[in-house]
Structure 1
């Protein structure tokens, strides 16, 4: 699920797995909340390209700001502000060379607000939406996944980068010969970076089910359950076609 602030730019992909083969059974651009809720309920695990929580330090900061209890030294430098606006998982990604957006200080907060509402509905229906990625959903970061898989992770966004995106789609599908993708779906992947990100999210969800993603350190487990945790793949893309049946 490549979650945007509004349905028009929200893309979803469903991959069905059986033995060592997989099929892209659904690829959709323009998904509303009803479709997204149905997607999560119908899948074993759903990868969501969107922060699933806010930094605990930021939430605490807002509470103290409201009460007039903020200190100047908390915000008088970039490092001080970074400690407030980045989650623990963001800092881990930054240390590894990735560049996640801050949900507390960037426009990605708009999709995150939508995600919070969706997760609240699912939780009310009894769906396990553990933010650390051990339930029905897992937070994804397509650029980080592509980088770990040795594929281009930048310059494929937006219409102007169509040629680079077509090369990326070709490289991705060459690396996963066991994934069946129809012609119309391939054309959509080449045309829409949102659709392409949705497929990457589905592949990361598979990696998460197989235990092939970076887990929070024991000391970060409680924080990850509140702030969310980005599932960055640790294995090879080709290894996702294991004999274990699953849907993502």
Structure 2
């Protein structure tokens, strides 16, 4: 470390110069005084150096304290934010718990409704035109099996019932044809069935020998007049896609509905 000529050292140096002309005893006393002064100067320098070190440490500690203070403030802010998140999650859990507690009640109310929907659908099919009865009855049997199976969730039961209702609704909005073997006068005959939505259900044999419509009132097949055969044949072609769509005429009876 570079030494600086302090006032004390300057005084000592001056005394040394002046002491050259003093007697020996005085010079000895002066030397002792100078040594004491020099020792005091060294101690002062050590004290100053220690003060400088302490000041550097203080500066470091202040910087560290500021850093810790900033981190503490950030941690406190994060903690407050997390408290809000936890409170929000607690309210959500309480809401979910309340919903779970109502599941049994909702299920108890919904299951009878679904069973009634299946029964209503079965009654509707029985009262409807007798087309594709096997397919429609199989659909109802599937619904009843799903309702009796505890492994089928109530949501899936509801979906299956709605799909069945949609299928029945679709029959009333479309025209369809399909081959079917029916009994005519005790003999099996292959005919083309044709469904005019839910307006009429008719059949026509390929040779046009047999043609009939289903009469709702009688609950039986009734032969149609020959003048309708051409229209029925044309309608079957339209449904099969072998001719262009056009206006179709169907032999039908008036539909009356009696209010319950």
TM > 0.5 fold call:
no
Higher relative contact order (CA 8 A, sep 6+): 1
TM-score, with normalisation over the residues of structure 2? 0.22
